[in-house]
Amino acid sequence: RSDSLKYCEEGVKGGEEYHTLKVPRGGEYTLVLADGSKVFLNAESSLKYPVLFSGDLRKVKLEGEAYFEVAPDSCCPFLVKTAQQEIKVLGTKFNVSAYLDEPTVTTLLEGSVYLTSVVVKGEHQLVPGEQVVIDPVSNEFTVTEVDAENVIAWTLGKFVFDDNTLEQVMKKLERWYGVEVDYVDPEVKKIVFKGNLPRYLDLRILLGMIERISPARFQVDGYKVTVSLF
């Protein structure tokens, strides 16, 4: 289960001092910032944040995936910067997936956030249940309605896949289990998968569950997983 770290404002000096928390493959971490905001960091993610917030803006920088529960402060907005966007909030709950090799996905659960893309033309004020996807490869900025609870299922020990391709599924498993995936037939990447799987299962057991409901077949050799069609 996830480790945790908590910062307190009392007795803390040097608001300009920044720390960076890096979570490796196969890990997860819960962080409570000095203002009381809670951040759940997923595998292969990092967050840069000040030891103590000062000034009129609470700024953090994210690479990877995190779920934020931001402490309200109407006088000091909270700003999340990633490689592809900026999110400005006052107090709210939202999830950001901002891995460098994938589109950036922001999903709002509660409150309101204002999102501005820095790589694709677009900006949007999200309402609960909305998701913004920024894809710099296709130059697209899209807004859709989703089941936000499914998006943060990873913080509750579950993988929830909703019409994801097998390639998208395996990217998550690569980060969580620390494995490398090789595809015998590129067509297998396009298989669409829907399912709810426990996050703390042994990898072989989890892959066996996927095999039972899809035409994909897996061979595990150490830290390498080979995927083929049945």
Whole-model pTM: value is: 0.92
Q: Is 28 helix (H, G, I), strand (E, B) or coil?
A: coil
For the chain, percent of residues with pLDDT exceeding 90: 85
* Cα separation, 87 vs 81, whole angstroms: 7
The average pLDDT across 102-114 equals 97
Amino acid at 67: Y
- Cα gap 40→88, rounded to integer Å: 18
Nearest to 20 by CA among 5, 37, 2, 3: 5
pLDDT for 13 equals 53
According to the model, what pLDDT value does residue 94 have? 98
> Rg (Cα) of the chain, in Å, rounded?
19
CA 158, distance to chain mean position in Å, is 13
Q: What is the pLDDT of residues 34-91, one digit of tens each?
A: 999 999 999 999 999 999 998 899 999 999 999 999 999 988 999 999 999 999 998 8
Average pLDDT over residues 109-123: 95
The answer to whether residue 1 scores a pLDDT higher than 90 is: no
179, 137 contact by CB (below 8 A): no
Q: Tell me the pLDDT tens digit for each residue of 139-183.
A: 999 999 999 999 999 999 999 998 899 999 999 999 999 999 999
Pairing state of beta strands 29-32 and 3-6? Answer: parallel
Decide which of 13 and 189 is more confident.
Answer: 189
**pLDDT confidence of residue 74:** 87
Band of residue 8 on the pLDDT scale cut at 50, 70, 90: low
Helical packing angle, 203-212 and 166-177, nearest 10°: 170
Tell me 174's DSSP state. Answer: H
> How high is the mean pLDDT of the chain?
93
Residues 196 and 159 sit within 8 Å (Cβ to Cβ): yes
Please state the φ and ψ torsions of residue 226, each to the nearest 5 degrees: -100, 130
pLDDT the model gives residue 25: 95
Does 230 score more than 90 pLDDT?
Answer: no
Are 66 and 40 within 8 A, CB to CB?
Answer: yes
- The three-state secondary structure class of 165 is strand
Question: Please, which pLDDT band fits residue 2 given cuts at 50, 70 and 90?
Answer: low
